[in-house]
Structure 1
Amino acid sequence: MPQLNPAPWFAILVFSWMIFLVVIPPKVMAHTFPNEPTPQSTEKAKTNPWNWPWH
């Protein structure tokens, strides 16, 4: 049964994981977003209570 011969499939597995772990992560980490988030001010926003009649 040639399906049980691990020689070609183990090499394919190793090379595919090499690609996943060596080539792809730098490409993903080099991605930048076009709209970088800007830091907001640290002062707390003033909230007003609602004046709704509850009847």
Structure 2
Amino acid sequence: VPWLYYLLLVWLIFILLAPAKILSHTNLNEPNSKNTKTHKFMWTWPW
């Protein structure tokens, strides 16, 4: 079933990239803005 594989792929990407999004939200107040930009780019990349 193709939609099942698509759902599994989206779920896998979400599991892998969710910590990066959480990390970017927690690092918004940090002076290192370069790290936050890379995490935001990594989060928006698969979509």
- Provide the TM-score with structure 1 as the length reference: 0.39
Larger RCO: 1 or 2 (CA < 8 Å, sep 6+): 2
Return the index of the structure with the highest Cα Rg. Answer: 1
In the superposition, the TM-score normalised over structure 2's length comes to 0.44
- Larger helix proportion, structure 1 or 2? 2
